[in-house]
Each structure stands twice: as structure tokens, then as C-alpha cells.
């Protein structure tokens, strides 16, 4: 019975945590639709968050996309060319890069790089009582601390995924031409990609990037603000934020794929 009770406690704890995160996302979404929630200070925080999460990570994401193009897309293109079935090139590349690899790897970079930073920053603000000071001054932490960070992470993941897909496909095509010159005309290659992209793929791409971004931002902010005030809890909050964000990434990816393609 003790074992069953532990399972029940963990299940209830997970449900409460998920309920809190979705509540934060819903509340932040409603606040973002109100013009009074966007003073200059909040816009500045949003711009800095996008700069740190998106622009500063652009070089590393491009490097990961380059390596993905070399290791995956090139092999796929060469295999299809050798098999003499060039019409399969577009669907295979869309399946590998556009549907799965792009959203997953771009989100991984953001979680590892910015998720830890967000959770650590907010946890330190909690320890130093800066959050209480903001509330005493009449500043809503949801508007000033949570909303710009969550939206900044979502926008950054979407843009970084677009860059990832473009770089991967470009590197894959160029690499394939270097290995087997004249295997495919650029217009034919582009046409095969466009034909392979369906409306379901667009919905899949938007859901995996935006939903993952919102969840990542919400999880990291909630974990950072949830500590009780001890310095020793800061690294623990950062670790929980990364682990739960990665778990949410895989869960959302699996659910979206099932709902979109089944």
C-alpha cells in the first residue's frame, strides 16, 4: 500500500504541476492580448529575451544544422540518387528535417542554453527578494517577469527552427552535388521539397515549435519562481526546469505527430 501511495502522490504532484503550467500559459496569453500589459519596460524585456535566446544562439543552431545536413540529408540525397528514385527525395527530407529533426534539435539548443538561464535568473531574484520588491512597487510579476520570457522563448524557437531547416536542406543539396555532381537541378530539388510539404506538415511545424516554446518558457519560469528562498535551491530549480522541459518536448512531439498523421 505504501508503494501504491507513492505512485498516487507522484501522479497527483505531476497533475498539479501540469495544471499550474497550463494556468500560467493561459493567464499569460490573456494578458498579452491587453494593450496595457505592454509598457515600454515589458517590451524591452521581450526584446532582450529574443536577443539572448534567438539571436545569440543563431550561430550554434546553424552549426548543428550544418552537421545535420552533412550527416543525414547528404546521405539521404545520395541514396535516393543512386537508387534512381529522385521523386522520393522531397518526402524523405521533409520527414527527417522538417517534421522531426528541426523542431527537436532547435528546441534542445534553446532548453539547454536559455532554459537554464531563465530558471537560474528568476530563482536568484526570488532568493534576493527582488520579486517581492516588484510586487510592493505595484509591478505584476506575471507581466514583467513571466510573459516576455515565455513569448520570447516561443518566438525564438520558431525562428531558429526555420533557420535550421533552411540551412540543413541547403547544406544537404550542396553536399550531394559535391559527392555526385549533376544529380539534381536546384529547381527540381526545390520543387520536390515543396510538393512533399502538405498542410498537415505546416500544422505539425507550427504546433511543435510554438507549443514547445510556450511550454519551455512556462516550465522554466515556474520552476525559477517556485523556490522558497534558499540559495541551495537555485541549481535544483535549474535542473528541474531542463529535465521537465525536455520531457515536455518529447511528449508534445509525440502527441502532435499522432494527431497530425494518424
pLDDT of residue 129: 86
SS3 content of the chain, % helix, strand, coil (to 5): 90, 0, 10
Q: Can you read off the three cell numbers belonging to residue 60?
A: 550554434
Cβ neighbours around 234 below 10 Å, total: 19
* Separation between Cα atoms, residue 258 and residue 143, nearest integer Å: 34
pLDDT confidence tier of residue 104, bands split at 50, 70 and 90: very high
Average pLDDT score over residue span 241-260: 91
Higher pLDDT, 249 or 2: 249
The answer for residues whose C-beta is within 8 angstroms of residue 168's C-beta and 6 or more apart is 65, 66, 68, 69, 72, 73, 97, 101, 102
Quick one: residue 129, left, alpha or beta (phi over 0 = left, psi -120 to 50 = alpha)? left
* Separation between Cα atoms, residue 148 and residue 150, nearest integer Å: 6
Cβ neighbours around 40 below 10 Å, total: 7
pTM (predicted TM-score): 0.88
- Among residues 219, 221, 239, 48, the alpha carbon closest in space to that of 141 is found at 221
Q: Are 70 and 170 in contact (CB under 8 A)?
A: no
Domain ranges (residues) in the chain = 2-261
pLDDT at residue 183 greater than cutoff 60:
no
pLDDT at residue 81 greater than cutoff 70:
no
**Least confident window among 84-93, 191-200, 226-235:** 84-93
pLDDT confidence tier of residue 152, bands split at 50, 70 and 90: very high
* C-alpha radius of gyration, the chain, whole number: 21
pLDDT of residue 84: 56
Q: Are 148 and 220 in contact (CB under 8 A)?
A: no
Q: Can you read off the three cell numbers belonging to residue 254?
A: 509525440
For 40-80, write each residue's pLDDT tens digit. Answer: 989 999 999 999 999 999 999 999 999 888 887 667 766 66
83 burial level (CB within 10 Å; 0-12, 13-18, 19+): exposed
Amino acid at each position: 500500500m505504501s508503494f501504491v501511495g507513492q505512485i498516487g502522490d507522484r501522479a497527483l504532484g505531476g497533475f498539479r504541476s501540469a495544471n499550474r503550467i497550463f494556468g500560467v500559459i493561459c493567464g499569460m496569453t490573456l494578458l498579452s492580448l491587453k494593450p496595457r500589459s505592454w509598457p515600454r519596460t515589458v517590451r524591452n524585456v521581450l526584446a532582450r529575451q529574443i536577443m539572448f535566446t534567438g539571436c545569440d544562439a543563431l550561430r550554434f543552431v546553424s552549426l548543428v544544422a550544418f552537421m545535420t545536413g552533412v550527416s543525414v540529408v547528404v546521405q539521404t540525397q545520395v541514396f535516393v540518387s543512386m537508387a534512381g528514385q529522385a521523386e522520393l527525395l522531397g518526402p524523405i527530407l521533409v520527414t527527417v528535417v522538417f517534421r522531426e529533426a528541426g523542431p527537436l534539435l532547435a528546441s534542445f539548443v534553446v532548453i539547454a542554453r536559455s532554459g537554464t538561464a531563465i530558471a537560474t535568473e528568476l530563482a536568484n531574484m526570488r532568493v534576493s527578494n527582488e520579486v517581492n520588491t516588484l510586487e510592493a512597487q505595484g509591478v505584476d510579476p506575471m507581466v514583467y517577469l513571466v510573459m516576455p520570457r515565455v513569448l520570447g522563448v516561443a518566438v525564438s524557437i520558431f525562428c531558429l527552427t526555420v533557420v535550421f531547416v533552411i540551412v540543413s536542406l541547403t547544406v544537404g543539396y550542396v553536399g550531394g552535388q559535391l559527392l555526385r555532381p549533376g544529380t539534381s537541378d536546384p529547381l527540381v530539388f526545390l520543387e520536390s521539397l515543396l510538393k512533399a510539404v502538405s498542410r498537415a506538415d505546416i500544422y505539425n511545424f507550427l504546433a511543435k515549435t510554438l507549443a514547445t516554446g510556450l511550454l519551455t518558457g512556462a516550465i522554466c519560469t515556474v520552476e525559477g519562481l517556485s523556490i522558497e528562498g534558499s540559495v541551495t535551491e537555485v541549481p535544483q530549480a535549474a535542473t528541474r526546469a531542463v529535465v521537465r522541459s525536455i520531457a515536455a518536448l518529447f511528449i508534445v512531439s509525440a502527441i502532435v505527430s499522432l494527431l497530425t498523421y494518424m
